[in-house]
């Protein structure tokens, strides 16, 4: 049986998950509210399944998870996503996500996801699966994904969401100069001339959702 670490910002949601898992005889080894707590618990339980809120670490959540997995490659990820855009971000930027849930998941769906991951099986909530199946832009998305490196893809999605260069640099822990280097490399690879065209391409290829284009969502 896998160990579970709950990494959710909301005290109420975190407490509810903890009570639900414990009452169904799952091992919950930690319930954390900060990134530092998550890092500490990952050291102690490097093969745990982390139920991770998609905005747990702000815009740097994906980057934080990448660093954690590099140190502890036995960790599993059950994503607790606020929006479909969060699902897209994690899917495009991580090599493996072990389960996808939306925040509006009910009690039974939550337990079904935990049971699947506990058995070593991937779980995709029905709403997420339907979203991917109905995405008419999948073929173009694959073309863009194959053209860009992981870091270039992150920068593309952040630009598409309206983040400024300085904000992207802070989120990815790199310099603004490096962000601009990635921007110009992306423009060259995709044969486009600026951020506006890049945002349009990100929308057309399904890398960002329309509601997120030109917004800075926290």
Q: Give the per-residue pLDDT at 190.
A: 85
Model confidence over 163-174: pLDDT tens digits?
A: 899 999 998 889
State which CATH number among 3.40.1740.10, 1.10.10.10, 3.90.950.10, 1.25.40.10 fits the domain covering 138-208: 1.10.10.10
Architecture of the domain whose range is 3-133: 3-Layer(aba) Sandwich (3.40)
Q: Give the per-residue pLDDT at 215.
A: 47
Q: Give the per-residue pLDDT at 216.
A: 46
Pairing relationship of beta strands 76-81 and 49-53 according to DSSP bridges: parallel
What's the number of CA atoms in the CB half-sphere (13 Å) around residue 80? Answer: 25
Q: Give the per-residue pLDDT at 134.
A: 67
Residues of the chain with pLDDT under 50: 212-218
Q: Where are the alpha helices (DSSP H) in the chain?
A: 11-23, 35-44, 61-71, 84-93, 107-118, 126-133, 138-147, 150-160, 165-172, 176-190, 195-204
Query: With 0-12 CB in 10 A as exposed, 13-18 as middle and 19+ as buried, what is 106?
Result: exposed
List every span in the chain annotated with CATH 1.10.10.10: 138-208
List every span in the chain annotated with CATH 3.40.50.2300: 3-133
214: left (phi over 0), alpha (psi -120 to 50) or beta: left
The Cα 135–Cα 118 span in angstroms is: 29
Q: Give the per-residue pLDDT at 104.
A: 92
Cβ count near 41 (within 10 Å): 20
The Cα 5–Cα 78 span in angstroms is: 10
Please tell me the pTM assigned to this model: 0.71
The Cα 204–Cα 36 span in angstroms is: 37
Contact 76, 48 (CB under 8 A): yes
């Amino acid at each position: 049986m896998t160990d579970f670490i709950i990494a959710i910002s909301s005290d109420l949601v975190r407490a509810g998950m903890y009570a639900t898992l414990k009452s169904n005889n799952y091992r919950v080894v930690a319930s954390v509210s900060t990134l530092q707590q998550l890092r500490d618990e990952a050291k102690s339980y490097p093969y745990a399944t982390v139920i991770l809120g998609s905005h747990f670490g702000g815009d740097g959540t994906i980057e934080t998870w990448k660093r954690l997995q590099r140190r502890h490659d036995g960790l599993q990820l059950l994503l607790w996503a606020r929006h479909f855009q969060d699902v897209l971000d994690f899917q495009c930027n991580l090599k493996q996500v072990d389960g996808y849930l939306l925040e509006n998941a009910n009690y039974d769906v939550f337990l079904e996801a935990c049971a699947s991951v506990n058995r070593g099986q991937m779980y995709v909530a029905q709403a997420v699966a339907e979203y991917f199946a109905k995405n008419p832009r999948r073929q173009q998305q694959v073309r863009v994904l194959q053209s860009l490196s992981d870091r270039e893809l992150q920068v593309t999605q952040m630009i598409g969401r309206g983040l400024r260069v300085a904000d992207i640099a802070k989120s990815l822990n790199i310099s603004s100069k490096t962000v601009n280097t990635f921007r110009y490399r992306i423009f060259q690879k995709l044969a486009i001339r600026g951020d506006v065209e890049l945002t349009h391409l990100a929308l057309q290829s399904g890398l960002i959702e329309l509601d997120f284009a030109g917004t800075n969502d926290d």
